[in-house]
Amino acid sequence: MIKGKTTAIRFTSRASVKVGDSFYTVEACEERTIPDLEDVDMEEERQNLWDTVNTECDNQIQEILKTFRK
């Protein structure tokens, strides 16, 4: 029987894009403290955090493409 309890989750997302002859790498990281409540859905918490950091990387790449593509 596992006795450990998750009290925080942290996800990091990283992506690279090539524009012309240059490579750009972006990274987003976020950590969340999980409240000690019975109704916390850990899968939903994880999915929301994963979506958040991935969206941040996607937004950064879109900004790079908008700025440096001709």
Task: Give the three-class secondary structure for 27.
Answer: strand
Model confidence over 10-41: pLDDT tens digits? 999 999 999 999 999 999 999 999 999 989 99
Distance CA 66, CA 43 (A): 34
Q: With 70 as the cut, is the pLDDT of residue 70 above it? A: no
**Cα torsion 27, 49, 46, 35: sign:** positive
Place of tokens 């524009």: 19
Report the predicted TM-score, pTM, of the whole model to 2 decimal places. Answer: 0.85
